[in-house]
Chains A and B, each alone.
Chain A
Amino acid sequence: MKTLSEHILDIVQNSVRAGAKMIEIIVAESKKNDLCSLTINDNGCGMDEETLKQAINPFFTSRKTRKVGLGIPLLKQNAETAGGGFSLNSQLNIGTVLKAEFQLSHIDRPPMGDIWNTLYLLFLSNRNTNLTYRHKTDTGNFSINTSELKEALGNVSWQEKEIRNGIIELIKTNLEEIGATK
């Protein structure tokens, strides 16, 4: 994965497959502490201890269509090469918390990427999941979630051009304002 956005897109898929009704993505960055962390919480089916231990193994997957599961191992590897760390906690039938940390200024930290497009695609595909994105920087916070969008936009299809550009612009403008790193 070349960008953090792609990792987010990928990991959120795990939560969706776990049947989560609530998914929270938190990106917290601080130039002061030279830290960037990515947290993904969900209330999906969770994992038992055995599965949790296996989740970081690239040759483990719960799928039957293939024999490898690279999403989590790739994120862990990227975090560790960028002077950070990785943790995964889960409780069966309660949910999962994944956290990856990066040294913000580290040359190997993947760039943020086009998070606005990523979020748009996630919102579009998971309209009935309560998906929240929060971004914290030294100067401010921004958050957006599916229920707010549903309330503001009513019944129209989010695939419509105006709506699509609107959602993307909303995310872009706000992230620029709080000085989110690229």
Chain B
Amino acid sequence: MSKIKSLADLRKMKDDAQSKIKLRENSDHPGQLVQVKVGMATCGIASGAKETMKFFIEELEQEAIDAVVTQTGCMGFCYAEPTVEVILPNKEPIVFGNVGKEKVHQIIDAYIKRGELVDGMIPINFKTIDD
């Protein structure tokens, strides 16, 4: 395929790929999806949260897990960046610290897929921050 250079090309690409892309009916109700929030304040970015977030998106896609990946602010665990908050449907949020590539694997494989806890949780009563 030729290179995408304009918005028109992008639209055309979308139309071509439409059949492959399943329209997500759930996307208006994020409560039903797995939510992954990557801490992306100064501390997170400096420790590589950008790569972590990108890797989460790619990896979840490969495993065909419907999930919403977004950024969030600093949760106050700067010593353990990159930190990631994972919310499984109808479960309490859990925060994992020091999430590099290898950890992303573990979290998806064990926690998101099988519900087993993995090392590196930040074990305090955590409340989602709302910014």
Q: Interface on A for B, CB 8 Å cutoff?
A: 1, 6, 9-10, 13, 16-17, 63, 65-66, 69-71, 74, 117-118, 121, 124-125, 148-149, 151-157, 159-164, 166-167, 169-170, 173-174, 177
Contact = CB atoms under 8 A, between A and B. Distances in A.
A9 B53 CA distance: 13
B53 to A, nearest CB: 6
Contacts, number: 103
Contact of B11 (A9, A13, A153, A157): A153
A66 B14 contact: no
A56 to B, nearest CB: 14
Given A152-B11, A154-B14, A161-B61, A17 B46 contact: no
Given A63-B74, A159-B57, A6 B50 contact: yes
A162 B17 contact: yes
Contact of A66 (B9, B13, B45, B78): B78
A162 B9 contact: no
B23 A156 contact: yes
Interface stretch (B63-71, B89-97, B102-110, B112-120): B63-71
Given A17-B131, A70-B42, A169-B3, A162 B14 contact: yes
B88 to A, nearest CB: 18
Contacts of A153: 10-11, 14
A161 B17 CA distance: 10
B10 A157 contact: no
5 contacts: A16-B131, A66-B76, A153-B11, A156-B21, A174-B5
A173 B4 CA distance: 7
Contacts of B78: 66
Nearest to B51: A117
A168 B15 CA distance: 17
A69 B20 CA distance: 44
A117 B54 contact: yes
Contacts of A124: 69-70
B125 interface: no
Given A155-B23, A159-B57, 8 more contacts: A10-B41, A66-B78, A152-B14, A159-B68, A160-B61, A162-B13, A162-B21, A173-B3
Nearest to A122: B71
A121 B68 CA distance: 12
A13 B129 CA distance: 14
Given A6-B45, A65-B129, A170 B5 contact: yes
B73 A17 contact: yes
Nearest to A17: B131
Nearest to B57: A159
